[in-house]
Structure 1
């Protein structure tokens, strides 16, 4: 009889042990997902290859080639002040149909020489032209389990001047390479970043010297926080804070809005200082990069500056930008963005501040630009937003499934199995003891009757 009781106890304990084991296994898997599997997934993928394109919007651009050649642009060639004779202050004979705008005759019968004419800078600024920006970001070497190198080719283009090779419509371009941590998205502390600046007319001029970079740029960290981050601006080689604005949704995707207000920043000085800080010697390529950021030898009258129109001025290009980005906090992926860029020429920082903060003057400059270098305001187009948001939602869903939903389900099932196994084991133990006690009592009663 004792042998039978032992066998029954073992049979009743088997389901209990199975449930306890299953519960422990499920809880272990849940904890592994939270502390090992999901953290391993929270790394920037090594196969990044994305393109963002903005909406085409009306803007303004100073045509560097026209300014350098002292030849008014095609869009400005019919304006009176952009005629060689009128700009020189001579009385011009009526030109016949089909005459070239840059060659006219004076009363004395001499041809006006454009090279000696002081055209207003407005003759070289094309206003209300269709502009758009595009950027392709892809992962390149060196990249490994901890870091990833991103190469971003970005360009600003005119839609009304798209030649067969696209060069005719190019306003400016950069080729940027930065190695970042795959989790925090912050650049590594090594002089491996490069940034080539390519301006119109200087397609072969660049100074891609390696440097140490600070600040986010193409991606935010996983589990983005509601606070300020350092953000690198490729146009000025400067790092400035970008501030958290609030929570929102973009195309159904949870997002944090961040905004950055920049400028006016002296581009010539900031770029010069950047290259001076990282170079052991003079790099001739730097001078060609800086050429479009400073204009000397022209008069105040040509720039539309009040006062003595014959006063010679030294003008530098200044940069302002209102940058807005929307970031999915789980993945750190930017799901939408816009910029309001305004680059203009001023004599110094004080004059640039006064000019930019004059609301009426800014409206006048927007309507009739006299010192604008670039004015471009736009955001991502619909196709870019849809593709990016779909990718971000898929990544966020994956992280949510493996980081929250699945661990919660497995954890609850594991706890239930564990509790069930313990209860079943305790109950089985009680039943076994009760059976043994009853059999013992029966045995004792039989002995008494004997």
Structure 2
């Protein structure tokens, strides 16, 4: 008679083998397929970051009695607001795309009277996984972004009328290097990061690991060398020269320090030190028009820490914890399933009936 445990054991072992194969497959697919699909910035974005700080000198342009007044203020308290919003007008902004188009607007104000001392706006088409600004490929490769998806804005030299703001002009250009964030799975190495002021990618050097609000972050520092960023007409009195309008070169240097959570690539904190001055043949002594430092305020840092908390655990699971757990469980199920099958085959088959005994035949002598 066949033992009822045999078929049940075989069925159980096959179930274990199936579960083992499923777990091993999950261990392989989580980091190789699921993570690349989930580790992408969302298409939709609408966020605001605030930086605060002081400037020993800052150039302010105001309107008094209908006339434009330019002055250099000292020891100003500044507040910078950076607003990032998605632009769904470009054709590449569609579900399933690997790129996103975001618009960044930054304004810096003197908190004494809320005078805007600087403002900039740019739009970037960038890779949703690596955060690299899109650069059109050469040859016959298909472009992922249109030639008008990335631009920077500049103001015309003079307004159309006295007292009005100069007209804003868009300059379509790619913005290479990292934009908005660092890549998912940021490594302890140097990266090229786009710099707004110079309009080019500048190396951000890895400087070590730190703890910020209980979050492990990587510290990166960009040193931007003295660079001429524009030529403009300014009042002679502004730079200590004669003449109503004098041509001067605007030069910039600075240091940007970023603290990055490596799993998500989120910038938890940023500090910007900037120095700008005007140089002209009309006066050999440079005129400092900005010298100050801005840093994320506490509410912005808290918001970034929360964002890390909302996303890091998910990425950790699908990228490392999940594959390890599924791999161990899968191997255990496979081993147990194989063991039960082998054990079943090794067991002797019981007799189906009683064996007939035979008496030995005695020989006669």
The TM-score range, normalised by the shorter chain, is 0.7 to 0.9
Please tell me whether residue 14 in structure 1 is matched to residue 11 in structure 2.
Answer: yes
1:184 CA displacement: 1.2
Alignment correspondent of 1:373 = 289
Root-mean-square deviation (CA, aligned residues, Å) is 3.0
CA displacement 1:105-161 (0-9 Å, x = unmatched)? xxxxxxxxxxxxxxxxxxx31111211111011222232321101111100101011
Q: Gapped runs of 5+ residues in structure 2? A: 137-146, 361-365
Cα 1:130–1:11, aligned 2, differ >3 Å: closer, same or farther?
A: closer
Alignment correspondent of 2:223 = 261
Alignment correspondent of 2:201 = 239
Alignment correspondent of 1:33 = 30
Cα 1:27–1:295, aligned 2, differ >3 Å: closer, same or farther?
A: same
2:349 & 2:195 partners in 1: Cα distance? 81
CA displacement 1:31-81 (0-9 Å, x = unmatched)? 2222211121111112222211012434422234589x99987xxxxxxxx
1:63 & 1:147 partners in 2: Cα distance? 38
Alignment correspondent of 1:320 = 253
2:308 & 2:206 partners in 1: Cα distance? 19
- DSSP-derived class of the 1:448 partner: coil
Is the contact between residue 55 and residue 290 of structure 2 (CA under 8 Å) also seen in structure 1?
no
Higher strand share: 2
Q: 1:389 aligns with which of 305, 325, 328?
A: 305
Is the contact between residue 185 and residue 262 of structure 2 (CA under 8 Å) also seen in structure 1?
yes
1:254 CA displacement: 2.1
Alignment correspondent of 1:133 = 80
Cα 1:15–1:72, aligned 2, differ >3 Å: closer, same or farther?
A: closer
Alignment correspondent of 1:157 = 109
Q: 2:172 aligns with which of 210, 214, 222?
A: 210
1:58 & 1:135 partners in 2: Cα distance? 18
**TM-score between the two structures when normalised by the length of structure 1:** 0.67
Q: 1:402 aligns with which of 318, 321, 334?
A: 318
> How many equivalent pairs are there?
335
Q: 1:170 aligns with which of 116, 129, 147?
A: 116
1:8 CA displacement: 5.3
CA displacement 1:306-333 (0-9 Å, x = unmatched)? xxx99x9753221111111111211111
Deviates most, 234-243 or 388-397? 234-243
Is the contact between residue 53 and residue 293 of structure 2 (CA under 8 Å) also seen in structure 1?
no
Q: 1:220 aligns with which of 160, 172, 182?
A: 182
1:25 & 1:232 partners in 2: Cα distance? 43
Alignment correspondent of 2:262 = 329
Larger Rg: 1
Cα 1:59–1:150, aligned 2, differ >3 Å: closer, same or farther?
A: farther
Higher helix share: 1
Q: Gapped runs of 5+ residues in structure 1? A: 74-123, 163-168, 270-292, 304-308, 356-370
